[in-house]
Amino acid sequence: MTTPGTVLVVGSLHYDIVVEADHLPRKDETAVGSRWFPKFGGKGGNQAVSAHLNGAKARMLGAVGDDGFGTFLRDRLDRSGVDHAHVATLAGVPSGMSVAIMDAAGDYAATIVSGANLRVAPQALVQDAVWRDVGVLVLQNEVPEAVNIAAAAEARRRGIPTLLNAAPWRALSPEFARLVDILVVNAVEAEMMGAAKICFLHGASDAAKKLADQFETVIVTAGSMGLAAWGAADEQFSLPAEKITVVSSHGAGDAFIGALAANLVRGVNFAAACAAASHAAAEHVAGR
């Protein structure tokens, strides 16, 4: 039996405060919630945990503050089986955090305060120990682009593919875009990158094809509609979403990314990896 490779996630860690309410407030409205609870978060942290849950070794590189939030985040990484030896603790800097409001239908809106995530050191990425046994690098847009560029450039130098979950959306510099091997965006992010409005699954396919002019491999996730992909050598397909009862959509994208990376690092072919990731996201949304 071969040992699975390692998924390296360079990215964010947030202490999430989740508020449950019957609806999301409108501008100038004060909504009354029913309860709140703390939750481990940050797209990077969530994706690392998901990669481990889906059978891969996961390693996290990021930063937390020397506060109670940082202690909470490290403890959760440890308990989730994620290697956090390369997560820095920064004196005098607050950990990243977010506040999310989730409505009765499971939809949510959130605000993040990045804190220590803005202080991740690019120079940490040249250490050989960071890259030991790594088979895929996973990035998001919750740390400075300079960190992402340093990580992707080092991965390219070492022959390791880079998967970018371009969320939250921000314009990518040409330097960074050239280093991305696999781009994953949702429908809104695809539209912000120049695709037409996505109302049906074939629209996601059109968006993936358009973005494939800039990136070798593209996956466009379209929520309850499913996903569309455009791979290397013009491999293209779409997958309808599984029919499930929604408990909460919060974190579904991160569950997808972690599962995708875990399957790719184990050598699963691209289409099968997408199907496995789609299933993992559906299970997450269904609360299973």
> 278 exposed, middle or buried (CB, 10 Å; 0-12, 13-18, 19+)?
buried
**Residue bearing tokens 């979950």:** 165
Q: Are 136 and 265 spatial neighbours (Cβ–Cβ below 8 Å)?
A: yes
Q: Considering only CA atoms, which of 110, 83, 138 is closest in space to residue 16?
A: 110
Q: Are 220 and 207 spatial neighbours (Cβ–Cβ below 8 Å)?
A: yes
The SS3 assignment for 280 reads helix
**Residue bearing tokens 């040992």:** 3
**Residue bearing tokens 């995530």:** 117
Q: Give me 101's structure tokens.
A: 């409001």
Q: Are 175 and 152 spatial neighbours (Cβ–Cβ below 8 Å)?
A: no
**Residue bearing tokens 């989740």:** 18
Q: Are 41 and 87 spatial neighbours (Cβ–Cβ below 8 Å)?
A: no
- Report the catalytic residues: 254
The SS3 assignment for 207 reads helix
First CA to last CA distance, the chain: 29
Q: Give me 120's structure tokens.
A: 């991740």
DSSP, res 117: G
The residue length of the chain stands at 288
User: What is the C-alpha to C-alpha distance for residues 48 and 41, in angstroms, rounded to an integer?
Assistant: 11
**Residue bearing tokens 């996201």:** 281
Cis omega (within 30 of 0) on the bond before 168? yes
